[in-house]
Amino acid sequence: MAVAVLIPTVLRKHTAGKDQVAAQGASVREILRDLETQFRGFTQNLYAEDGDLKPFINIYVNEEDIRFLQDLDTPVQSNDTVTILPAIAGG
Amino acid sequence: MAEDLKCRECGKAYSAQPAAMCEECFGPLEFNVDYSQLAGILTREKIAQRAKNMWRYRELLPITNVPAPGASIGFTPLVVANNLAKHWGVQELYIKNDAVNFPSLSFKDRVVSVAIAKAIDFGFKVVGCASTGNLANAVAAQAAACRLKTCILIPSDLEPAKITGTLIYGANLIAVTGNYDEVNRLCTQIAERYQWGFVNVNLRPYYAEGSKTYGFEILEQLGWKTPQHIIVPMAGGSLITKIQKAVQEFQKLGLIEQSPCRIYGAQAEGCAPIVNMVKQGLDRLRPVKPNTIAKSLAIGNPADGIYAARVMRQSGGTGESATDDEIVAGIRLLATTEGIFTETAGGVMIAAAEKLIRSGKIPPDESIVLSITGNGLKTQDAITGSVKITATIKPTFQDFQRTYEQGGEAWQ
Ligand SMILES: [Zn+2]
């Protein structure tokens, strides 16, 4: 099952500059695993030492932050969009 | 001064550029220059001779040119708060009052002036931000004065005064039907696509340094001394980290003595991810869905949260939160004791300070600084239900006399 993944600027060096790619998988974790297979090194710096996503990276399934869903185990379906974005602050 | 961005996580150095994230490890970039060569050169006397604005510390800021419209920002009053001190039974209490900062009545004028100076250096023609209100006001005002175009994004349910206080400057204001974290996500996506200067996205490392001047001023106005306790409201968590940085830089330069300064962070109970992290001893911040009248602090996934928590832990401070009722009571307490009308964020900070003092976490005989960062005229909606007119009368003396003499408890 293929879903669309939106790639932020900082990760486009792995995707030959592409800002959107297709990936296979039934969960965010599987999608990331597929991205690593397609683009070696893609996930190299995404994870903290404890295996969790680094706090500086946010991943959304459609519009929702996966930290409010099931984190890396959040399920994805073929018409979903996965968005990877840097975390920024504000006020 | 050489310009230098450095990753807070892996230490990789970058030249001056509009970027906020490390390409290697995705950690946040920080403007980080070792100012130690200024020791003995940037002296108390030299600073004291300069005009009373935030640029008196210009060597410690990442700027080359100050845009003329921003020249009067900063050096707001440090008020000796004797009435409130008496109310709480403490001996030495001060209020750093950025409710009267120029031009848009919040501490955000400081950060925006640095960001806009950099936006001009980098050649941006459009500046923008994602904002909970005060930042929108500050960007709109200063962009207008610098003849820059704007793209400002806010949650659509913001207080009307903060919306009007942005639109009046001719800003392009986009109201987004979502909470701040959703506005923030959208803003990040826009910043990825369009080459604009977003003050809290790609200009963030520079922007954040402007907050240090709030801390520098406290230290100078106290007579080149560190207070023993500082209480700070937290939204994204940036200000509290920069107050600590201000103390450390003044210590390194020999402008103040090394002495302990405990730093406390305040959040609304309906959006307290950083306070929760500190109180529960967590390593990781758990984002929340905000639900509070303190809209300017309603950031559920604060990007600087882990660093803010570290400041509280390292300095010996802690975090404290306040309910909506306590926030309103805090706003009224400050107004009725000290004659200072602050916004909801200030009410959060006052309520948190009261709890820290009453519980004995802050001892009554040590010096305390309260951080007021915004103006109450912008968030009047929060308190209108809790105050009322003493009496409405006909324009006759008899009516007044009767009202006064029979007034009883209505007269405070
Ligand atoms: Zn790094």
Tell me the pLDDT band of B15, cut-offs 50, 70 and 90. Answer: very high
A56 and B181 in contact by Cβ < 8 A? no
**What ipTM did this prediction achieve?**
0.94
In 3D space, the residue among B289, B306, B386 whose CA is nearest the CA of residue B347 turns out to be B386
More confident of the two residues B409 and A87: A87
pLDDT tens-digit series, residues B120-139? 999 999 999 999 999 999 99
Compute the distance from residue B239 Cα to the ligand 1 centre, in Å: 22
**HEC profile for B335-351?**
HHHHCCCECHHHHHHHH
CB within 8 A of B276, min separation 6: which ones?
Answer: B282, B286, B288, B319
Mutate which of A9, A56, A60, A61 to disrupt the B interface (most B C-beta within 10 Å)?
A: A56
Quote the CA–CA distance of B251 and B245 in Å, as a whole number. Answer: 10
CA distance B235 to chain A (A): 6
Full-prediction pTM beyond 0.90? yes
CA distance A90 to chain B (A): 6
* Region B248-253 average pLDDT: 96
Q: Which amino acid is at B402?
A: R
Contacts of A90 in chain B (CB under 8 A): 129-132, 135, 180, 184, 187, 200, 235-236, 299, 303
Is residue B398's pLDDT more than 80?
A: yes
A91 and B238 in contact by Cβ < 8 A? yes
* Region B282-286 average pLDDT: 93
A87 and B301 in contact by Cβ < 8 A? yes
Q: Which amino acid is at B233?
A: P
Quote the CA–CA distance of B280 and A87 in Å, as a whole number. Answer: 23
Least CB–CB distance from B236: residue in A19, A83, A90: A90
DSSP string for B321-384: EE-HHHHHHHHHHHHHHH---B-HHHHHHHHHHHHHHHTTSS-TTSEEEEEE-BBGGGGGGGTG
Tell me the two tokens of residue B41. Answer: 């050169």
pLDDT tens-digit series, residues B170-198? 999 999 999 999 999 999 999 999 999 99
